[in-house]
């Protein structure tokens, strides 16, 4: 039995992706364990969810630091205490600094509510609605120093319908995120991705191995 991948999950808000990860772990479909949940915001509902489950929580708010480098260093130190094999940004609304990136090189992933490289940054769903695209979705990618610019690991497409506003589309995208993120974390835990400088998928040829179970295999 392969070892569970220890996760440091960084959050800023609601934490529906954290819940989805936790549910997949409990159901046995994601070979990971949540070692800690760290927020940049006191009172984030995601923290409450974690605490209720006995998961260690930390708050590292920029407001408590005189400058960004000290915040970045402290964030990296708090996460490193838990010796995570992977850092997951699950609705973490800040750019990581050089210290954090250097501490976990190639071992940080983010979930973004658009099909990158389209619509990076804030308000991915609103950007998609404004651009009147017919298809958007979500992306799990490795984090680098840019805004949603790191190598893409997996994506799920979600149709945009004429009656969509940003909120309605975001809800539909989130349902896809809740399947995609645990699937990718599971694939990483099982060694199906080589992370590092140039991440690549090295797992079974059948993409169904990490795609949501309801997706047909590409070859069919
Ligand atoms: C998600 O839509 C994610 O793509 C984006 O922030 C949102 C966080 O949602 N990065 P939640 O806190 O996981 O509910």
Residue 107 corresponds to which tokens in the numbers above?
A: 């071992």
Instruction: Write the residue with the smallest CA distance to atom 7 of ligand 1.
Output: 91
Distance CA 198, CA 218 (A): 24
Ligand 1 cavity residues, CB under 6 Å? 13-17, 90-91, 111-113, 174, 177
Per-residue model confidence as pLDDT tens digits over 173-190: 999 999 999 999 999 999
pLDDT at 96 over 60: yes
Instruction: Write the residue with the smallest CA distance to atom 5 of ligand 1.
Output: 91
CA dihedral for 145, 147, 151, 155, sign (positive or negative): positive
Residues 141-165: what's their mean pLDDT? 95
Instruction: Write the residue with the smallest CA distance to atom 8 of ligand 1.
Output: 91
Cβ distance 148 to 121 under 8 Å? yes
Residues 139-166: what's their mean pLDDT? 95
Residues 6-19: what's their mean pLDDT? 97
C-alpha distance from residue 44 to each of 24, 48, 54, 141, 201 (Å): 22, 7, 16, 24, 34
pLDDT averaged over every residue in the chain? 92
pLDDT, residue 137, reads: 96
> Strand (E) positions, the chain?
5-11, 32-39, 56-59, 86-89, 108-112, 135-142, 152-159, 193-194, 200-201
Q: Which sequence positions are flagged as catalytic? A: 112
Phi-psi region of 88 (alpha: psi -120 to 50; beta: other; left: phi over 0): beta
Give residue 133's pLDDT band: very low, low, confident or very high (50, 70, 90).
very high
Distance CA 115, CA 100 (A): 25
Length of the chain measured in residues:
220
Instruction: Write the residue with the smallest CA distance to atom 6 of ligand 1.
Output: 91
Q: How far is the CA of 110 from the centre of ligand 1 (A)?
A: 9
Residue 76 corresponds to which tokens in the numbers above?
A: 């990296």
pLDDT at 122 over 50: yes
pLDDT at 219 over 50: no
Distance CA 38, CA 182 (A): 18
pLDDT at 204 over 90: no
Give residue 11's pLDDT band: very low, low, confident or very high (50, 70, 90).
very high
Per-residue model confidence as pLDDT tens digits over 15-44: 999 999 999 999 999 999 999 999 999 999
Strand partners, 10: 38, 89
Residues 86-107: what's their mean pLDDT? 97
Q: How far is the CA of 61 from the centre of ligand 1 (A)?
A: 18
Q: How far is the CA of 170 from the centre of ligand 1 (A)?
A: 9
pLDDT at 210 over 80: no
Residue 121 corresponds to which tokens in the numbers above?
A: 């940054």
- CA nearest 12: which of 52, 56, 43? 43
Atom nearest to 13 CA in ligand 1? 12
Distance CA 108, CA 111 (A): 10
Q: How far is the CA of 219 from the centre of ligand 1 (A)?
A: 31
Atom nearest to 18 CA in ligand 1? 13
Farthest CA pair distance, the chain: 56
Atom nearest to 90 CA in ligand 1? 13
Per-residue model confidence as pLDDT tens digits over 49-76: 999 999 999 999 999 999 999 999 999 9
Q: Could you tell me the pTM of the whole model? A: 0.93
At 154 the three-state DSSP class reads strand
């Amino acid at each position: 039995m392969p070892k569970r991948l220890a996760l440091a999950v960084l959050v800023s808000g609601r934490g529906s992706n954290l819940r989805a990860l936790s549910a997949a772990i409990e159901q046995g479909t994601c070979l990971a364990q949540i070692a800690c949940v760290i927020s940049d915001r006191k009172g984030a509902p995601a923290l409450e969810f974690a605490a209720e489950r006995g998961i260690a929580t930390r708050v590292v708010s920029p407001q408590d630091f005189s400058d960004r480098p000290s915040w970045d260093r402290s964030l990296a130190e708090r996460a490193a205490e838990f010796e995570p094999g992977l850092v997951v940004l699950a609705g973490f609304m800040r750019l990581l600094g050089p210290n954090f990136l250097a501490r976990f090189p190639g071992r940080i992933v983010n979930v973004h509510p658009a099909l990158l490289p389209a619509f990076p940054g804030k308000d991915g769903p609103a950007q998609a609605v404004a651009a009147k695209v017919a298809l958007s979705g979500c992306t799990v990618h490795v984090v680098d120093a840019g805004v949603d610019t790191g190598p893409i690991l997996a994506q799920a497409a979600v149709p945009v319908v004429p009656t969509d506003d940003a909120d309605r589309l975001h809800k539909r995208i989130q349902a896809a995120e809740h399947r995609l993120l645990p699937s990718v974390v599971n694939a990483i835990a099982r060694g199906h991705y080589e992370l590092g400088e140039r991440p690549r998928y090295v797992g079974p040829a059948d993409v169904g191995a990490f795609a949501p179970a309801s997706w047909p295999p590409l070859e069919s």
